[in-house]
Amino acid sequence: MISVNDSIPAATITVINQQGQDNVSAADYFKGKKVALFALPGAFTPTCSAAHLPGYVVHFDDLKAKGVDEVACLSVNDSFVMKAWQDAQNAENLTMIADGNAALTNALGLTLDTGDFGGVRSQRYSMLIDDGVVKQLNVEPGSELSVSDAATLLSQLD
């Protein structure tokens, strides 16, 4: 599993933006900026939709005020699902990242096998990435939302 002070690997991700979507290397994408990244098992799922993503929407301005350039949400879903979820959650300020084939999630060592529910997904976590290097990493110990929420990551920026 990736650790603090490790660099983000070069796996291909799909970033949803105003123009549509771009397939890019994660290593390249995270260079030169400070990003609050949070990942979750799936778009439109109960905890992800009711608490995890909304917390980052609510704390977006607070994270920016602490020096974060971008707040990004990653899930092992396709880009169309991620865009639809962004729209449904009024999360237009967040960058949505589709890791459709779990390439980055696998490279990070943060996969979760949900079996028949959805197959390989991402564990729930948050990280602060500064110029492509992990500075904070908060991986949930189970299925709860207790350490990867926006308030926790925000408190780590002090």
Closest CA to 40 of 93, 8, 88, 85: 85
Q: List Cβ neighbours of 115 (8 Å cut-off, separation of 6 or more).
A: none
Q: Is 20 helix (H, G, I), strand (E, B) or coil?
A: strand
Query: What is the C-alpha to C-alpha distance for residues 38 and 73, in angstroms, rounded to an integer?
Result: 5
Query: What is the C-alpha to C-alpha distance for residues 49 and 135, in angstroms, rounded to an integer?
Result: 26
**Residues recognised as catalytic:** 48
Query: What is the C-alpha to C-alpha distance for residues 71 and 59, in angstroms, rounded to an integer?
Result: 10
